[in-house]
Amino acid sequence: MDSSILQHPNIQRTKDKVRLTAARLVDHHINLAVTGLSGSGKTAFITSLVNQLLEANEDANLPFFSVVREGRLVGVKRDVQPNLSFRRFAYEDAMLSLSKAEPEWPLSTKGISQVRLKIKYKKSSGVSKYLSKDATLTLDITDYPGEWLLDLPLLDMSYEQWVEQCQSELAEPVRAELAKPFLSALAALKPMEVADELILKNIAELYAEYLHACQKRGLQLLQPGRFILPGELAGAPALHFFPLLPIYDSDLSFDSKKVAKGSQADLIINRFEHYKLKVVQPFFREHFKKFDRQVILVDCLNALNNGYYCYQDLQKAIDWLLGSFQYGSSSILNRLFQPKIDRLVFAASKADHVTPDQQGNLVKLLESMLRSARKNIQFNGVKTESTAVASIKTSRTGLGELEGDNIQVLQGQNNLGKTITLFPGEVPQACPPASFWDAQNFEFPNFMPPLLGGSHSLPHIRVDQVLEFLLADKLK
């Protein structure tokens, strides 16, 4: 056959149409959400994920990432991010911090940011591999504060229900102690008097200080999330509301339907409804319905360090966050996520803070937190995976001796720059009873980032397995 015939414009147009049709039959785009509550390691995780992909054909260690193992990865590059209204994820700044002579952890998540990667690979199967030599998968990664995610259930709550929730939380002695300044100011408020914005602003700031104190104490179930990380709403009247709790001898017990127009209580309730309608709802409507895959990071070890009550609070926060998966077509998460998110990774972070023989227990501890919610998510057709990861491995493993027996130990740099060697202890497979903490405490260490020694690739634990679960089916 005359090869010139194949170059005929009509033939070329037909080939182009076939290629386009083949591309449309295969999803070449993934929108990944990285979720985690305060201190779970979101920024480190995204930095590592981007780093492993950019360095995949250089010195990255990715034995479980099939497209690399099979030699089909052509290359990865950063591209212009899809939403120009969001901050650019500060990958370069994070790598500068980690590459210092005295490495530092990158700054934590304060708002929404994005990064887009183009992943070029050789196809391994399907008709489309005969139509073009290479294919490109676009990966968008969105980073946002996990604190904001905890606002989601507010959309299904009335103001009275939210007050009941806050009242239940403040029945705990730990929270009640931290809330004393707020509760004292609240007791002096006359909710039926004519609204005074300055008074409401001052009490709302005390409520925000209470939430910040809870966060420092290690608590996670904190609402509203924007009181912790206000973002562009810092100082805005939209955040000048709080729960009108029935306390002391004040007249705070009232029916919101009978609240006088223009009163303190009326303004507070209106701002609560405004927060739901204008802040929470648009955030989830505009972002979450676009996600295809999700990673949820959980810091189980810090919860153990902080004691029984903080562990239980983390459990409640996870149930609060994931409980919305349980209600089928009536749930908010089901309406926003389905049918988009089809793969979800639950990752216990900081796996390098325990010895390798305890990492299996760490996964079981995480799964004990997720037991009921995960079943419902799987029932809805979402594939899930539980694992333990270290986004940036900070410790080395060796052998030590204890009472004549060889045991695994860890070595790393503490926050004073001193090298320490220790056995951090055993990880329970489920939450111990409260009496356990009366006898002893957990003391899992915190380490500083490792010296990279000229390497451009970050050391990690199981980030390649996370990449395989999230991306491999789209890279065939």
Q: Angle at CA 412, nearest 5°, toward 405 and 448?
A: 150
pLDDT tens digits, one per residue of 216-240: 999 999 999 999 989 889 999 999 9
Counting residues of the chain whose pLDDT is more than 70, the rounded percentage is 86
Please say if the pLDDT value at position 365 is more than 80.
yes
User: Are 441 and 302 contacting, i.e. CB atoms less than 8 angstroms apart?
Assistant: no
Q: Distances in Å between the alpha carbon of 449 and those of 348, 444, 457?
A: 18, 16, 13
Separation between Cα atoms, residue 40 and residue 406, nearest integer Å: 32
Please say if the pLDDT value at position 5 is more than 90.
no
Counting residues of the chain whose pLDDT is more than 90, the rounded percentage is 57
Give domain limits for the chain.
Answer: 17-149+286-393+453-474, 152-284, 396-439
pTM of the model: 0.85
Find all residues with CB under 8 Å of 110, minimum gap 6, and list them: 145, 229, 231
**pLDDT score of 29:** 87
**pLDDT score of 323:** 58
Q: What is the mean pLDDT of residues 145-157?
A: 85
Work out the pLDDT band at 119, boundaries 50, 70, 90. Answer: very high
Separation between Cα atoms, residue 277 and residue 268, nearest integer Å: 14
Q: What is the mean pLDDT of residues 139-166?
A: 88
Q: Determine how β-strand 113-122 pairs with β-strand 134-143.
A: antiparallel
User: Does the 17-149+286-393+453-474 domain belong in CATH 3.90.1420.10?
Assistant: no
Please say if the pLDDT value at position 302 is more than 80.
yes
**pLDDT score of 247:** 63
Separation between Cα atoms, residue 87 and residue 84, nearest integer Å: 8
In sequence order, the β-bridge partners of residue 58 are: none
Give the number of other CB atoms < 10 A from CB of residue 331. 20
Please say if the pLDDT value at position 273 is more than 90.
yes
Work out the pLDDT band at 15, boundaries 50, 70, 90. Answer: low
**pLDDT score of 289:** 65
- What average pLDDT is seen over the chain? 85
**pLDDT score of 4:** 54
Please say if the pLDDT value at position 332 is more than 80.
no
Strands in 396-402's sheet, in edge-to-edge order, are 396-402, 405-413, 419-422
Work out the pLDDT band at 259, boundaries 50, 70, 90. Answer: confident
Please say if the pLDDT value at position 244 is more than 80.
yes
Q: Which residue has the higher pLDDT, 136 or 148?
A: 136
Q: Angle at CA 118, nearest 5°, toward 113 and 123?
A: 145
Work out the pLDDT band at 326, boundaries 50, 70, 90. Answer: very low
Separation between Cα atoms, residue 161 and residue 216, nearest integer Å: 26
Work out the pLDDT band at 335, boundaries 50, 70, 90. Answer: very low
Find all residues with CB under 8 Å of 120, minimum gap 6, and list them: 73, 74, 75, 76, 134, 135, 136
Q: Which residue has the higher pLDDT, 376 or 102?
A: 102
pLDDT tens digits, one per residue of 63-110: 999 999 999 999 999 999 877 878 899 999 999 999 999 999 998 877
Work out the pLDDT band at 416, boundaries 50, 70, 90. Answer: confident
Please say if the pLDDT value at position 248 is more than 60.
no
Work out the pLDDT band at 195, boundaries 50, 70, 90. Answer: very high
Separation between Cα atoms, residue 362 and residue 59, nearest integer Å: 28
Work out the pLDDT band at 47, boundaries 50, 70, 90. Answer: very high
**pLDDT score of 392:** 97
**pLDDT score of 132:** 58
**pLDDT score of 330:** 31
Q: What is the mean pLDDT of residues 244-256?
A: 61
